[in-house]
Amino acid sequence: MATSRFLRPTILALTGIGLAAAMAVMTTSAASAATVIDGPVDLGTASTYGVLGASAVTNTGPSLVNGDLGVSPGTSITGFGAAPNGVVNGTVHQTDAAAAQAQRDTTTAYGVAASLTPTRTGITELNGLSLTPGVYSGGALSLADTGALTLAGSADSVWVFQAASTLTIGSGTRITITGGASSCNVFWQVGSSATIGTGAQFQGTVLAQQSVTATTGATVVGRLLARTGAVTLDTNTITASTGCPTPGTPSQTTAPTITSGTPAPATAGSPYTTTVTATGSPTPTYTATGLPAGLTINGTTGVISGTPTAPGDSTVTITASNGTAPDDTQTVVLTVRPSVAATPSPTATPSVPTTPSAVAAPVSSGGTGGDTPTGELAFTGSDPTVPLGIAGALLAAGSALTVVARRHRRAAQD
C-alpha cells in the first residue's frame, strides 16, 4: 500500500532524528577518560637484571652487563667468562629459583604495561618525535636508522610504549631523556620480538613476549627481559638502571586540560548520555553548572546523563580539576530539542453515498449543535423524496376537498 501523503513528513522527521541520535552515540561512545600512570611499572625482583632470557642467553664479543644476568626455564648461557668473552658485573642466575622468580615478575610487569589505556594510538615511526610522559601504542614500532627520539619530562615522569608486534631500533639511533627524567621510568612492552640496531644508544626496559637481539656495538641503559625466547648480545654494554623510584611513587603531576568538544544535542523526554574527557595527572574530577533540567554530571567519570525535561539551549560551564593549578574550564551550549510526538494516522474520507442526494433546505443560522454547515440539512442516511411525496399528495387532496365543500354551500344558498 502506498505511503499516505499525510504520513510522509512524519516518517522523514523520525528518520532524521534517528540518524542524529545514532551519530551522537558514535561520537560519545568512542571517548574515554585519559590514562594516568601512578608510577613506574613494578618489575619486582627483575629490576636488578640487565639481561634475563627464557630459553637462552647468548653473547658474542666483549659485552659488558652491569647488573644481574639470568635464564629460566632454559639452561643455556654462552659467551661469558674470561676475556675476550663477555663480563657480568653482577650475579649470574642460571636456572635457579631467583631466575624463575624474576621471570614470574617479568610476566606480571608485561601484563601491567600491556593493560594500560593509551593516551596516543597509531604510532609507528618514532623518528623526530619529542614525547611528553604517557602511554603510546602502535602495531610495529620503529626508530629509523640514525634517527632520534626525545623524551621530555621530570624526575617522576613515566613513558610506556606498547608495540603490538615488533620493536625495531635502527642503527646509529639515539634516545635522549631530558628534564631530569631517567631510563628507570621508560618501558617498552613488545608483543613479539625486539631488535636494537648496530651502534644504537637505547634507553629503557624492554619487556618482550619472545626474544631480544642487540646487534654489534649497541648500548642499553635499562634492561633486556625476554619472556619466552632468548636474549642475544654482540659486543654490547648493558647497564641496568639504578636509583629508580619505588614502584607506586606518584608520577609527574600536570594540570588538567579538557579534550572533549561541544556535546551532541539531546531530545526532551529521551534518555541522554555524553562524556567529558580531560588529560592531567592525577586523574581530574569534574563539575558542571547550567545543565538542562533532568541532566547531571558524574564528578569521577565525567559522564553527563539523564532525561532532559524541556527543550531549549543551555549554556553549560564545565570545570576539570586535579589539585594541580590551574583548573581547566570550558563553556559549551547544550541544545535540547523538542520531543517528537507520535502523529495519529488520518481517518479515511467517507465515500459518497449512492442514494439520491439530500434535499437542501434553509435552516436557522443561530443554531449551535453539531457540525452541519449553516443553511444545509445533514444527510441522515434515508431517502427524503418518499415522505415529501406523501405530504404533497395529502396537501393536494385537502385543497380539492375544500373547493368541493365551497361549491356545495353555494348551491344550497341558491
Assigned domain for 18 exists? yes
pTM of the predicted structure, to 2 decimals: 0.56
SS (H, E, C) the chain: CCCCCCCHHHHHHHHHHHHHHHHHHHHHHCCCCCCCCCCCCCCHHHHHEEEEECCEEEEECCCEEECEEEECCCCEEECECCCCCEEECCCEEECCHHHHHHHHHHHHHHHHHHHCCCCECCCCECCCCEECCEEEEECCEEECCCCEEEEECCCCCCEEEEECCCEEECCCCEEEEECCCCHHHEEEEECCCEEECCCCEEEEEEEECCCEEECCCCEEEEEEEECCCEEEEECCEEECCCCCCCCCCCCCCEEEEECCCCCCCEECCCCEEEECCEEEECCCEEEEECCCCCEEECCCCCEEEECCCCCEEEEEEEEEECCCCCCEEEEEEEEEECCCCCCCCCCCCCCCCCCCCCCCCCCCCCCCCCCCCCCCCCCCCCCCHHHHHHHHHHHHHHHHHHHHHHHHHHHHHC
Residues 98 and 233 in one domain: yes
Residues 25 and 154 in one domain: no
Assigned domain for 388 exists? no
- Residue 3 near residue 11, CB atoms below 8 Å: yes
* More confident: 389 or 242: 242
- Residue 39 near residue 228, CB atoms below 8 Å: no
Each residue's pLDDT tens digit, 117-151: 998 999 999 999 999 899 999 999 999 999 999 99
Mean pLDDT of 288-315: 95
Q: Which of 239, 267, 293 is the last residue of a domain?
A: 239
Please choose, from the candidates 187, 251, 184, the residue with its C-alpha nearest in 3D space to the C-alpha of residue 36: 251
Assigned domain for 113 exists? yes
Assigned domain for 372 exists? no
The length of the chain is 414
Assigned domain for 247 exists? no
Each residue's pLDDT tens digit, 8-54: 444 444 444 443 333 333 333 222 223 345 568 999 999 999 999 99
Residues 199 and 106 in one domain: yes
Residues 126 and 27 in one domain: no
Residues 225 and 273 in one domain: no
Each residue's pLDDT tens digit, 192-238: 999 999 999 999 999 999 999 999 999 999 999 999 999 999 999 99
Each residue's pLDDT tens digit, 339-375: 976 445 555 555 555 544 444 444 444 444 444 333 3
Q: Residue 328: is its pLDDT beyond 80?
A: yes
Please choose, from the candidates 325, 329, 258, 322, the residue with its C-alpha nearest in 3D space to the C-alpha of residue 38: 322
**d(C-alpha 294, C-alpha 271), whole Å:** 10
pLDDT at 404: 58
Assigned domain for 354 exists? no
Q: Which of 217, 239, 261 is the last residue of a domain?
A: 239
Q: Would strands 303-306 and 295-297 be described as parallel, antiparallel, or unpaired?
A: antiparallel
Residues 192 and 230 in one domain: yes
Assigned domain for 259 exists? yes
**d(C-alpha 303, C-alpha 284), whole Å:** 13
Residues 154 and 207 in one domain: yes
CATH number reported for the structural domain that contains residue 262 in this entry: 2.60.40.10
**d(C-alpha 220, C-alpha 103), whole Å:** 20
Q: Which of 239, 274, 306 is the last residue of a domain?
A: 239
Residues 131 and 216 in one domain: yes
For the CA atoms of 71, 52, 59, 145, what is the dihedral angle to 10 degrees?
A: 150
Residues 23 and 48 in one domain: no
Mean pLDDT of 384-388: 53
**d(C-alpha 285, C-alpha 281), whole Å:** 11
Q: Residue 158: is its pLDDT beyond 60?
A: yes
pLDDT at 340: 78
Each residue's pLDDT tens digit, 226-267: 999 999 999 999 999 988 877 766 555 677 899 999 999 999
* More confident: 382 or 99: 99
| Domains held by the chain: number | 2
Please choose, from the candidates 207, 227, 212, the residue with its C-alpha nearest in 3D space to the C-alpha of residue 163: 207
Q: Which domain holds residue 83?
A: 44-239
Residues 331 and 217 in one domain: no
Residues 206 and 322 in one domain: no
Assigned domain for 400 exists? no
Residues 234 and 258 in one domain: no
- 392 band by pLDDT with thresholds 50, 70 and 90: low
